[in-house]
Amino acid sequence: MEHVLSVQQFANKALLDKLFASAAKMQALDPTKYPKILKHLTLATVFYEPSTRTRLSFETAIQNLGGQLITTENAAQFSSAIKGETLEDTIKVINAYADGIVLRHPETGAAKRAAAVSGVPIINAGDGIGEHPTQGLLDTYTVQRAKVKIDGLKIGFAGDLLYGRTLHSALQLLALYDVEFYFLSPQSLGLPEKYLKELDKRDVTYRILHDWGKALTEVDVLYMTRVQKERFKSAGDYQEVKDDFILTPTLVKKMKKDAIILHPLPRVNEIPPEIDDDPRAQYFQQVRNGLFLRMALLESIYR
């Protein structure tokens, strides 16, 4: 696998099983036993948008596997992009220094543009409202570890389904299994039509709801998202919907005892901190799982 640009590259359950088995093996290892497959290699993390989990987990994964790291966490301001340099030229320059590039960019399709001119692997760490393939992979891995079997699950996605690139990636992978989806969002933040059409082609069962209804009593997995203020054209539009799907402790009590709650983070107010101690809250374990999934992914690229 030369580049990681889209979850469509992983649209095969056998491939996912192999990757998840590798991640689980990494997770079980003593840190002193991590394979140094990146020894003598240098990777660059180039982020044009803010990030905590994705950037730091990739940087930790690179170092755990013996690699060297060069990084910029605000490339939009602290690279030659501010002087007008194109993304393509920036990627060509970084090719002179690095054996791989982890890229986050605010424009949908930026990762593919970068890959078109790069002689080293490009890993898409999020491009605009498009995709976030490694988040989708770690989300699916988290569901598998928590529930063992994905087939037969009822999975709810709640909040901002329009702009949420993380869930756009996750649902495409989870749709490979025999699952049922619940899409819970304000009407103005519904899932883009192209994803619904794809689910229809695959004969995936789904329900579209604009309130909680009975969904909380039925889902095995609830994937919460924040309403992304930075994606709205006006503050008024954001204020109108930002509080429509808040998961309160009272609502959590309605959920199955063995259900799990996921969130790609960061959160704003959609999951209050008092829920964190509930055993169903798996979002910080989700963060931890991401480290090992990304280590396994790097291994699959560079072994």
Question: Which amino acid, residue 102?
Answer: V
CA distance 199 to 225: 20
- Where residue 294 falls (left for φ over 0; alpha for ψ -120 to 50; beta otherwise) is alpha
Check 3, 45, 54, 263 and give the catalytic one.
54
Check 53, 207, 231, 288 and give the catalytic one.
53
**Apex 240 CA angle, 217 and 284, nearest 5:** 50
Type and span of the H or E element at 154: strand 154-158
Whether 42 is catalytic is no
Whether 105 is catalytic is no
Whether 54 is catalytic is yes
Whether 207 is catalytic is no
CA distance 155 to 171: 9
Pairing of strands 122-127, 180-184: unpaired
Check 3, 104, 168, 242 and give the catalytic one.
104
DSSP assignment of 79-128 equals SGGGGT--HHHHHHHHHTT-S-EEEEESSTTHHHHHHHH-SS-EEEEEET
Q: Tokens 């982890």 appear where?
A: 102
Question: Which amino acid, residue 241?
Answer: V
Check 32, 33, 40, 83 and give the catalytic one.
83
Output the CA torsion sign for 69, 74, 79, 81.
positive
Residue 112: both structure tokens together: 């593919």
Whether 104 is catalytic is yes
Active site residues: 53-54, 83, 104, 132
